[in-house]
Amino acid sequence: MKASRVEIQTLRLLKDINANHYEAAREAARQGRPVGYVSVFAPAELLLAMDIVSVYPENHAVFVQARKMTTEVVSPLERLGYQPGLCSYARCDMGSTFTGKSPVGGLPKPDFFLTTNAQCSTLTKWFERMSEHFGVPLFLIDVPFTGGKPDDQHCKVFVRSQIAELIGFLEEITGKSLDPENLSRVVEISNQTTRLWKEIIESAMHVPSPISVFDQFISMAPIVAQRGTMVALEFYQTLKAEIDDRVTRGIGVVDNEKYRLYWDSLPLWHELKWLSDLLVSFKACLVSTIYTLPWADFWLDPKDPVSSWVEQYVHYFDWHLDRRVELVVQLKEKYRLNGFIFHNDRSCKMFSTAIPEIRRIVQEKTGVAAYILEGDHGDPRFYSREQIEKGLTYYFEILRARG
């Protein structure tokens, strides 16, 4: 019997939620609220509590890619001297900003940039060029990449003092001091949203899985770009209710789900539908991924969010090799996985540098074959569908042969 997909209805709400987000940002800027261009692991709650409008260039880049505007905006950028090997989020966002070709109806001008290199160093370089372009300051939360080594007390001291400096920096920009009550209120909403997201992605433990990693990729936008707001909270409440209902009724994403797979690294944003259909044809469902996990672990101590941030920056976002291996091995049990796909994303060195090694160790530890898919998260010039299809066909043959 041919397998098919059963769509999640709540996802239809996203079109408006995302569009409204950018419209609201433009409107808020018109009313004179300060605008920050920030990376996804910036302390969103702090910004929101200080009444700052946050724009997420990474999220913006996803829209450029999803609207298939990559080539159009990236070519002029390359003429300025940017090389095609750079992160395609950076290239798409800068290309869109520099050419003024916007997938979201334009962005309000920034008053500052904020990023942390706990995630990657690419963001620093990307934001350096962008902040020069706009002539506004860039604040970097510099996080040493400790790999969880025990002798990293000084890293925590360093990060803590930078968060204090950041608060001062933001107070200067807004002309107001941080109101701790405001922060607690936002943290409360944010924590509830984080909890919901955790439950939603963990519902994929059910067999058949009511939600796929593709659904997670699509539905993560609000928790990335609007964490701490009621909009995001309400969206995930609705989504959770539908997922719960699917669990009760035994509805899976993939009919006759046979393979439950893990996906490592970024999505192929251009190919969500194509790849998902391809996997469905193998009766395979992607049920778990590292990429959406951080937002399930963003819980902040309401009494002391600063300490939570310090801990997260120094110990959580640094996805070092041992932790990634350990995670994948745990996920295998938790989600009853019977296969792994590692996306060797040529334009994200942060994720990809260790992938061949991680795949080798995961195979050794689990005895399950893992597949390396050569791709790019946002530039379709650098992979071929044919190659991917051939590779995956071969991979499923191996899985089938091994039973």
Partner 1 sequence: MDFQQILAELVATQTDPHTRARQWKSANQGTVIAHLLPDVPEEIIHASGALPLAVTGVDRGTSLAESHIPSFICSLLRNPLEMALRRELDFIDGMVIPYVCDSTRAFSQVWEANFPDLFNHTLWLPKKVSGDSAKQFLFSEFMRLKKRLEVFLGREITDQSLRHAIGVYNQNRRLLRRLFALRKKGRIPLPYADYLSVVKASMTMPREDHNTLLARLLEGLKEECRPCEKEESVRVFLLGSLGEPHSVLTLFDELGMDVVDDHFYDGTRCFLQDVDEAVDPMEGLVSRQLSKAPLSGFHYQDDRWRQYLLDRVRDGQIEGVVYFPLMYCDPMEFDYPLIKGLLGEMGIPVLFLETDFHSGSLGQVRTRLEAFAEMLREKKDESLPC
167 binds partner 1, rule: CB under 8 A? no
The vertex-375 CA angle with 390 and 272, nearest 5°, equals 85
What is the rounded CA–CA span in Å between residue 288 and residue 204?
A: 7
Q: Could you say which of ligand SF4, partner 1, none residue 266 binds, taking C-beta under 5 to 8 angstroms by partner kind?
A: ligand SF4
Write out the residues near ligand SF4 by the rule CB under 6 A. Answer: 58, 87, 89, 119-120, 122-123, 266, 348, 350-351
Partner whose footprint covers residue 65, from partner 1, ligand SF4, none (CB < 5 to 8 Å by kind) = none
Q: With CB under 8 A as the contact rule, which of the stretches 75-83, 172-180, 219-227, 243-251 interacts with partner 1?
A: 75-83
116 contacts 158 by C-beta, under 8 angstroms: no
Q: Does 126 bind partner 1 (CB under 8 A)?
A: yes
Among 322, 393, 397, 400, interactor with partner 1 by CB under 8 A = 322
161 binds, among partner 1, ligand SF4, none (CB under 5 to 8 A by kind): partner 1
- Single out the residue of 214, 345, 340 nearest to residue 277, CA to CA: 214
Contact indicator for 398, 259 with CB cutoff of 8 Å: no
Helix (H, G, I), strand (E, B) or coil at 168: helix
Distance, in Å, from the CA atom of 19 to the CA atom of 222, rounded to the nearest integer, reads 11
- Choose between 21 and 346: whose C-beta lies nearer to partner 1: 346
Q: Which stretch binds partner 1 (CB under 8 A): 55-63, 155-163, 168-176, 260-268?
A: 155-163
Among 6, 75, 109, 147, binds partner 1 (CB under 8 A): 147
Name the helix (H) or strand (E) containing 133: helix 122-134
Cα 397 to Cα 403: distance, rounded to the nearest angstrom: 10
Token pair of 349 as six digits: 């060195």
Q: Which does 155 bind (CB under 5 to 8 A by kind): ligand SF4, partner 1, none?
A: partner 1
Which two tokens mark 33? 């609220």
Torsion of CA 20, 22, 28, 31, to 10 degrees: -110
Residues in contact with partner 1 by CB under 8 A are 80-83, 85-87, 90, 117, 120-122, 124-126, 128-129, 132, 138, 140, 142, 144-147, 151-152, 154-155, 157-158, 161-162, 165, 320-322, 344, 346, 349-350, 352-357, 360-361
